Structure 1
Amino acid sequence: MLMIAVSKIAGTAAAALLLASTLVISGCGGSKTTTASAAGQGGLEVSELRYQGSVGAVTYPELAEDLGYLAPLKLKYIGNTISGPQDIQSVVTGDTDFGGAFNGAIVKLLAAKAPITPVIAYYGVDDNTWTGYYVLDGSPIKTARDLIGKKIAVNTLGAHHEFVIKEYLHRQGLTKEEIDQVTLVVVPPVTSEQTLRAQQIDVATLGGILRDKALEHGGIHPLFTDKDLFGVFSAGSYVLTKQFIQQNPKAARKFVEATAQAIEWARTTPRDEVVARYEKIINSRGRKEDTTAIKFWKSTGVAGKGGTISEAEFSTWVDWLVKEGTLKQGELNPKELYTNEFNPYANGK
């Protein structure tokens, strides 16, 4: 999820998502997923699912495959994603079979008429997994209003952090015109602390190992956190195209069931055992990755059991986009944006 650019909030992310929507007709017309014989693949319509991975991290579908939950389906790695919005755009264009992103970014793409359906939550915020928006000790920034004319570092535009920041500014009473004066600077997360301490930005977005290391160094404190704003919630979902679901319902169900089982395995298994399994997966896939960050894994962050999606996890962002003027009131019904149809945990199993 690393890009380098400097940009105002308005316009950039929306343009990228709308561009993706223009590719819907050409990109989603035909799946490149390998067709399998029903006899050889347990009656599933396909034998493999194409996806993008993340450097030094293990996704829940990858964990599901390693645990044997996904069989007879196999995963086909085609490269690493640079961001959530890019990952789901790859699904829209037919380059991958599934991808994941922040729910607000998914709502934007759905508003652009992309034929995708969120099927399972895969990351979020809990007591152990959260992100803070940090300033230097002694910084003149004490309130949201102090951010007018200032720079905040984020990992990408149009995703989780942009929405959280703008929601914070909204709640603190800033007008749209004032919010437009707060600049988001896209900075690789690994260099955000250094960039903050060099005073090239005014606020750094820090989570996980990068947050913990920065706090050990001292001299910073959070202005606010995503957990402060929203509490415990699932923030992002994996999506499939509507066409894929229609043509491959058994494979879609298998994918969701296996991913849900993997999430619950990670939630209920002792942390050291989860970390050891992740390290084994990373080392065995031969991508020349560093496993340092995975040692600091703390929790799934997924709110719903097995990644079940709640209506609030989409209605929050629909309401937000209505407030922003991106959507019209009633244009999207949150209840119709996602499905828990394939998730066994949604049925109490």
Structure 2
Amino acid sequence: MASSRHPLRRTLAAAVAVLALTAAAGCGTDAAAGGKQTTELRYQGSVGQVTLPELAADLGYLGDVKLNWIGNVTGGPADIQATATGQSDFGGAFNGAIVKLKVAHAPITAVVSYYGSDAQTFQGYYVLRDSPIRGPRDLIGRKVGMNTLGAHAEAVLKTWLVRSGLTPAEIATVQLVALPPVNTEQSLRAKQIDVAVLGGVIRDKAVANGGIRTVFTDYELLGAFSAGSYVFRDDFIKRNPDTVKAFVTGVGKAIEWARTQPRETVVTRLKSIIAKRGRNEDTTLVGYWKSTGVAERGGVITDREFATWIDWLADAGELKGAKPKPADLYTNKFNEFAAAGGGA
């Protein structure tokens, strides 16, 4: 298990490095000859889970736009880096990771929120029931396992530690360990890590298995908020505005469908999608689905969802020069819910 005490800086450096490939990937395959807009979107999925675009496609909300699955990804930063370099057409990540990639001059723009935290769906920081860890100071010198470094889980953890009065030196002793989400619970129970960051259906399954307890959650710390967005490359958006609009509108409709349907209806649909795609996956996880966690109606993005992490990154010394403005990082112009007054 790899660990790092400076993952934000390393993630940003990696982002700058991969952008060297962006110019070569710029034209890519995202528009047909003669200016015809593409109707196929390459993307990365998640094992045993259903993404909102996949749900939208199954519900018929994407119209003529088709999804082309090119593999799975475990972390948002890698997903949006693949989009920035033209390996995929869209990707999703924690908004703080989008900020970092954007300030590294990645030509990407966020277009719709796709996950977040609310009373039902959130990321929690869990320990074994008999663990001595109760508060922030108990994490000094401990190992915390999370799906990826330099993203949502790390940002929330360090925000909590800073607000709790820990010094930079004390925070630096907290060891961050990157683990695949499906292995994090097992690593906690095997005492390979002291704290496990668990979210969504993976969290619910772990809690149902018993023997663990919560130290704190991002919802308790920050309230309800949308935490991540889907992005497209700017050149893709310019050449394929109708395709992007169909995607954003479809994802927004899928969010509202999931918000208004009985939970059992949503779970049944998610299981059927996994079964139909034939990737030899277990449907156990989606049985614990509760909500998307998206705060705004139809995935409309607000300044707050980027401003929080811009300020945190600046305070952490990860942003050089002037802070970017939230409005420069995202657009709602493709989202029909924004035009209709999409605020929750």
Q: TM-score, normalized by length of structure 2?
A: 0.93
C-alpha change, 1:97 and 1:325, in structure 2 (3 Å) is same
Residues 152-206 of structure 1, C-alpha deviations (whole Å, 9 max, x = no match): 1111112211111111111112222221111101223333333223332211112
Match of 1:175 in 2: 167
CA separation in 2, counterparts of 1:290 and 1:34? 35
What's the Cα RMSD here? 1.9
Identity %: 55
Map of 1:224-239 to 2, 5 A cutoff?
224-239=216-231
Contact 1:133/1:222 (<8 A) preserved: yes
Amino acid at match of 1:33: D
- Give the match's secondary structure for 2:69: strand
- Mapped to 1, the partners of 2:89 and 2:205 lie a distance apart of 36
Match of 1:15 among 13, 36, 39: 13
Give the 3 Å change call, closer, same or farther, for CA 166–338 of structure 1 in structure 2.
same
Shift of 1:37: 8.2
> How far apart, in 1, do the equivalents of 2:230 and 2:169 lie?
33
1:281: Cα distance to partner?
Answer: 1.2
- SS of 1:23's equivalent in the other structure is helix
Matched residue, 2:245 = 253
Residues 287, 37 of structure 1: alpha-carbon distance in 2 compared, 3 angstrom cutoff: farther
Of 158-167 and 206-215, more deviation after overlay is shown by 206-215
> 2-side partners of 1:55 and 1:34: how far apart?
29
**Aligned equivalents of 1:248 and 1:34: distance in 2?**
7
| CA drift at 1:34 | 5.4
Structure 2 vs 1, CA of residues 314 and 5 (structure 1 numbering), >3 Å: closer, same or farther? same
Q: Is the 8 A contact 2:126 2:213 kept in 1?
A: yes
Extract unaligned runs of 5+ from structure 2: none
Structure 2 match to 1:31: 28
Query: What is the match of residue 163 of structure 1?
Result: 155
The corresponding residue for 1:98 is 90
Aligned to 1:292: 284
The AA in structure 2 aligned to 1:21 is L
Aligned partners of 2:205 and 2:285 also within 8 Å: no
Deviation at residue 238 of structure 1 after TM alignment = 0.2
Which runs of structure 1 show a deviation greater than 4 angstroms over 4 or more consecutive aligned residues? none
Please tell me whether the aligned partners of residues 31 and 244 of structure 1 are also in contact (alpha carbons under 8 angstroms).
Answer: no
The answer as to whether partners of 2:96 and 2:151 remain within 8 angstroms in 1 is yes
Which structure 2 residues correspond to residues 1-349 of structure 1 after superposition, within 5 A? 4-10=1-7, 11-27=9-25, 29-33=26-30, 35=32, 45-328=37-320, 330-348=322-340
Q: 1:192 to 1:60 in 2, by over 3 A?
A: closer
Distance 1:244 1:212 in 2: 37
Question: Match of 1:78, SS?
Answer: strand
Q: Would the alpha carbon gap of residues 34 and 56 (structure 1) be closer, same or farther in structure 2, given more than 3 Å must change? A: farther
CA distance in 2, matches of 1:141, 1:273: 38
- Equivalent residues of 2:119, 2:224 under 8 A apart: yes
Aligned length: 340
Distance in 2, Cα, partners of 1:272 & 1:47 = 32
Q: By how many angstroms is 1:217 displaced?
A: 4.4
SS, match of residue 279 in structure 2: coil
Partner of 1:41: none
Could you give the per-residue CA deviations for residues 90-149 of structure 1, whole angstroms, max 9, x where no partner exists? 111101111100101111101101000000000010111012111233433232122121
